[in-house]
Amino acid sequence: GMGTDFSTIRPEFALVRRTGSVSSGILPFMDMWDSGCKTIKSSGDRRGAMMGTLCDTHPDLPAFILAKREKGRLENFNVSILLSDAFKSAAEENADWPLYFNVPPISQTPECAALNFIDDSGEMQYVYSVWDAAELWDLILKNTYEYAEPGTIFIDRVNEWNNLYYCETIRCTNPCGEQPLPPFG
């Protein structure tokens, strides 16, 4: 088993500058990894297991939340959302929650374009959509109740409590969620 954070993959409808094409988003990549995992068996009878995580600001988050509603999809994955303190506060306050990425979408509403911003590292972030954080939280809870996924990882707490905080940032867990992992951990 292994865990992978899909937050760095371009969202669906993101512009692929070099080719002038459009990104398919994270779910086709996860489908491909899921198919690969199905072919790997330990001693011929044990299946693989994976954890897929996604940050709470990624534009594909709503599709990620709903992905496992489709029978037979991502059967070798457990999926969890990396929930930040900022998201929890926004949900408590019924505040707007922008979903954004550092690559522009093929088209953007004027309302979303007005919300584009430069992040703390100096990188431009493009807003794809804006949700009411409480509604997004309710969508997460409803799917967790009805389909047992997605899980939630309160990522700011995990990293705050990480004894190696000074040299690594946790972005995922192992497939069952009990072992937080940094990149390549």
The catalytically annotated residue of 94, 146, 160, 176 is: 176
Q: Is the pLDDT of residue 80 over 80?
A: yes
Rounded to an integer, the average pLDDT of 26-32 is 96
* List of residues 6+ apart from 113 with CB closer than 8 A: 127
Q: Above 90 in pLDDT, residue 181?
A: no
pLDDT higher than threshold 80 for residue 96: yes
* Known active-site residue 172: no
> pLDDT (tens digit, 9 = 90+) per residue, 37-64?
888 765 566 678 899 999 999 999 999 9
The yes-or-no answer on residue 55 being catalytic is no
The pLDDT of residue 2 is 87
Concerning whether 176 is annotated as a catalytic residue, the answer is yes
Contacts for 117 with CB less than 8 Å, ≥ 6 apart: 100, 124, 125, 127
- For strands 117-118 and 124-132, give the pairing: antiparallel
